[in-house]
Amino acid sequence: MGLAVRTQSFWLCQGLVDFWSQAWEPLSVTCRLQPICPIEGRFGARSQAELPLRALQFKRGLLHEFRKGNASKDQVRLHDLVQQLPKAIIIGVRKGGTRALLEMLNLHPAVVKASQEIHFFDNDENYAKGIEWYRKKMPFSYPQQITIEKSPAYFITEEVPERIYKMNSSIKLLIIVREPTTRAISDYTQVLEGKERKNKTYYKFEKLAIDPNTCEVNTKYKAVRTSIYTKHLERWLKYFPIEQFHIVDGDRLITEPLPELQLVEKFLNLPPRISQYNLYFNATRGFYCLRFNIIFNKCLAGSKGRIHPEVDPSVITKLRKFFHPFNQKFYQITGRTLNWP
């Protein structure tokens, strides 16, 4: 066990050294790594059981530990850690698999995630607090790493593209999409669960998605509007060229995550470091889960992967027909064709 722990810790460490030595400033980074990897370094000897914990603290962001009282100001200072504005943002789409994408990208040694949705650009009150407030919400990271945050409301909120552009006009933008009707039902399911939790009743999906007067798709229903991806994307394209976006296939991220993640690594100009080792299928959850090392693995929370209510097949057909032309336009603009009906 002792040997396994040590080997694993070395593996994680080695991954970082490999990554940096191939990507950026090998010498300075190797120095910086030393206190993190061999624990016997600057902070004195630790028990072997603590080794993977140190690695975890690193990946979860020292700020997080700092707030919980597990990391000292000295540690932050000595490690030369900084809070950096994100180099990439997962801007949406709600229920597309945004959490899974963020957590899976965080497996990469050069990526540090902002755990919470920050809602800086879509919330006027937060936005008024200024960019320094936003930066302070970011986890600590090494200067050579990149910070990524996700706030799915960004994709559909009118003011956000201009605000992000003002912060960084060359930022990379990730959009994870799912087949639009499935996404709309997933969106509905989340709201329904919230209502049930408060002992409230709620309409059936069919009643919300179809206008009872016209018997056509109700475009006023938010879950429907959010799934018209091309409409939202067109607003973003007034500020950013299409090359700054990467479309992630959220349906494929569920069934076959690795190739999707490899495409993102490429888009972010990161060396390929996420491997099949980091992803294992958990039959009980029915989803892929994350393996950081032999000690630490995790699945997403139970609120991800809810059972959807059954929906009248004629409503599904109507919705799919409705989304079809918008989907075609989306494929055309993005250059990514997805096999949606």
Among 97, 139, 161, 180, binds ligand A3P (CB under 6 A): 97
Instruction: For the CB of residue 320, give the shortest distance to ligand A3P in the complex, in Å.
Output: 17
Among 96, 139, 161, 180, binds ligand A3P (CB under 6 A): 96
Is residue 147 within 8 Å of residue 141, measured between CB atoms? yes
Residues of span 231-270 touching ligand A3P by CB under 6 A: 253-254
Question: Closer to ligand A3P at the Cβ: 15 or 92?
Answer: 92
DSSP strand pairing (287-291 vs 146-150): unpaired
Instruction: For the CB of residue 302, give the shortest distance to ligand A3P in the complex, in Å.
Output: 9
Is residue 63 a contact point for ligand A3P (CB under 6 A)? no
Q: Which residues contact 260 (CB under 8 A, 6 or more apart)?
A: 248, 249, 252, 253
Q: CA-CA distance, 257 to 259, in Å (whole number)?
A: 6
- Evaluate the CA torsion angle 241, 242, 246, 248 in order and state its sign: positive
Residue 238 annotated to the active site: no
Decide: residue 170, CB within 10 A, 0-12 exposed, 13-18 middle, 19+ buried.
Answer: exposed
Question: Closer to ligand A3P at the Cβ: 6 or 222?
Answer: 222
Is residue 304 a contact point for ligand A3P (CB under 6 A)? yes
| Binding-site residue ranges for 3'-phosphoadenylyl sulfate | 95-99, 178, 186, 288, 304-308
Residues of span 151-180 touching ligand A3P by CB under 6 A: 152
Instruction: For the CB of residue 187, give the shortest distance to ligand A3P in the complex, in Å.
Output: 8
Q: Which two tokens stand for residue 226?
A: 């959010």
Is residue 95 a contact point for ligand A3P (CB under 6 A)? yes
Segment interacting with ligand A3P, rule: CB under 6 A, options 26-34, 44-52, 95-103, 140-148: 95-103
User: In the 3-class helix/strand/coil scheme, how is 84-100 assigned residue by residue?
Assistant: CCCCEEEEECCCCCHHH
The half-sphere exposure of 166 on its side-chain side, counting CA atoms within 13 A, is 9
Q: Among 59, 87, 95, 321, which one carries the catalytic annotation?
A: 95
Is residue 80 within 8 Å of residue 32, measured between CB atoms? yes
Question: Rule CB under 6 A: which residues touch ligand A3P?
Answer: 94-100, 152, 186, 253-254, 287-288, 300, 304-306
The residues carrying an active-site annotation are 95
